[in-house]
């Protein structure tokens, strides 16, 4: 297997198995890649009711991250749920010498309503965001992070996912640093279970970036994968 197909997922574990690390692994492997994982937190959830979050031990996490990223075969990193300010800062520290593409999916809450990023972590998350290749918020996350002002502050490409939008046609928009905007339009679909779709898309984008695709191509292929899978 080529080195470009190795993707490290840094995310939380969803006790339902329908999102987080489990979805990341399924997506990366379905595309033909090798998934490495680092668990930031363990969540106890029901499909319709929030329950609890238990964060990983930071010292052990930092050591494991350093060990994995010392392997030069890691082609990209996908970041999902981080839970706490300390974890955000630990991940940022662990990435300081990593030069490959990094996809950040800013997970703020679960579909069931469970808070997955503590309020005091937002400033640290903004600092981390400024160091990644692309960030992939949905409409609600984009607004909670600060919208257009936030996007201008962090100064990285932003894929604004339109899955929570109104209308019959949804639009995913990629805001690039030169001011240009790329858009992908697709008919709105009502999914019986949309849980984990954001995880799948960001993981797919990370996989295609690890394969050497440019950002727009990786996003386009990631969206196509999502549309053909869910």
Q: Tens digit of pLDDT for each residue in 178-215?
A: 999 999 998 877 766 667 899 999 999 999 999 999 99
Instruction: Please calculate the CA angle 223-181-218 and round it to the nearest 5 degrees.
Output: 30
Q: Are 62 and 89 in contact (CB under 8 A)?
A: no
Bridge-based pairing state of the strands 34-46 and 49-55: antiparallel
Give the pLDDT confidence score for residue 17 in this predicted structure: 77
Q: Domains of the chain: which residue ranges?
A: 3-229
Residue 9 CA to residue 11 CA, distance in Å, equals 6
Residue 99, CB-side half-sphere exposure with 13 Å CA sphere: 2
Bridge-based pairing state of the strands 6-14 and 74-79: parallel
Using a 10 angstrom Cβ sphere, with 0-12 exposed, 13-18 middle and 19 or more buried, the burial of residue 85 is middle
**Eight-state DSSP code of residue 56:** P
How many C-beta neighbours within 10 Å does residue 215 have? Answer: 19
Give the pLDDT confidence score for residue 191 in this predicted structure: 64
Q: Which has the closest alpha carbon to 206: 29, 72, 16, 18?
A: 29
Residue 150 CA to residue 84 CA, distance in Å, equals 20
| Encoded tokens for 108 | 């703020």
What mean pLDDT is predicted for residues 61-70?
96
The fold adopted by the segment(s) 3-229 is: 3.40.1190
How many C-beta neighbours within 10 Å does residue 183 have? Answer: 10
Would you place residue 2 in the very low, low, confident or very high pLDDT band (cuts 50, 70, 90)? very low
**96-136: pLDDT as tens digits:** 999 999 999 999 987 767 789 999 999 999 999 999 999 99
Chain-centroid distance of CA 131 in Å reads 14
**Distance set, CA 59 to CA 21, 40, 178 (Å):** 20, 12, 39
Would you place residue 144 in the very low, low, confident or very high pLDDT band (cuts 50, 70, 90)? very high
Mean pLDDT of the chain: 91
**215-227: pLDDT as tens digits:** 999 999 999 999 9
How many C-beta neighbours within 10 Å does residue 94 have? Answer: 20
Q: What's the pTM?
A: 0.94
């Amino acid at each position: 297997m080529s080195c470009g197909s190795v993707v490290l997922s840094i995310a939380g574990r969803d006790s339902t198995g329908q999102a987080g690390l489990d979805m990341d692994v399924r997506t990366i492997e379905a595309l033909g890649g090798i998934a490495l994982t680092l668990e930031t937190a363990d969540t106890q959830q029901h499909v319709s009711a929030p329950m609890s979050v238990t964060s990983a031990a930071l010292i052990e996490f930092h050591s494991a991250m350093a060990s994995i990223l010392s392997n030069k075969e890691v082609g990209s990193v996908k970041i999902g749920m981080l839970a706490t300010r300390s974890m955000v800062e630990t991940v940022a520290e662990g990435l300081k010498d990593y030069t490959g593409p990094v996809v950040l999916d800013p997970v703020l809450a679960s579909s069931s309503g469970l808070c997955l990023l503590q309020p005091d972590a937002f400033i640290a998350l903004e600092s981390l965001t400024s160091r990644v290749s692309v960030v992939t918020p949905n409409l609600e996350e984009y607004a909670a992070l600060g919208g257009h002002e936030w996007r201008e502050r962090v100064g990285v490409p932003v894929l604004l996912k339109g899955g929570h939008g109104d209308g019959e046609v949804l639009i995913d928009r990629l805001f690039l640093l030169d001011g240009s905007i790329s858009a992908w339009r697709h008919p709105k679909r009502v999914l019986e279970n949309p849980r984990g779709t954001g995880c799948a898309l960001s993981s797919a984008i990370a996989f295609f970036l690890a394969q050497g695709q440019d950002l727009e191509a990786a996003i386009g292929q990631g969206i196509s994968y999502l549309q053909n899978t869910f």
